[in-house]
Amino acid sequence: MLNNIGPAGLIIIAVVVLVLFGRGKISALMGEVGKGITAFKKGVKDSTEEIEDQTSELGETARDVTPEEKKDKV
């Protein structure tokens, strides 16, 4: 169904949405979407930094803790 919508159909839909909601509501909604995306990116960055800090506090890299008997069976 959505495959049949061309450029003209998208323009008509945009005009209808603009008439129904008005320019002010749409710009406020887009502003909120932008704030949400920014907050999401900041949260991902903060959690990544936190994980990196925790691993650097340990002061060691990943090490193999597999028992010697099981290493040979691979």
DSSP string across 6-74:
-HHHHHHHHHHHHHHHHHHHHHHHHHHHHHHHHHHHHHHHHHHHHHHHHHHHHT--------HHHHTT-
Confidence of residue 58 (pLDDT cuts 50, 70, 90): low
Assign 3-class secondary structure to 48-62.
HHHHHHHHHHHCCCC
**According to the model, what pLDDT value does residue 73 have?**
61
* Cα–Cα dist 15/55, whole Å: 52
In this predicted structure, the answer to whether residue 17 has a pLDDT above a threshold of 80 is yes
In this predicted structure, the answer to whether residue 60 has a pLDDT above a threshold of 70 is no
User: 3 vs 14, which has greater pLDDT?
Assistant: 14
In this predicted structure, the answer to whether residue 74 has a pLDDT above a threshold of 60 is no
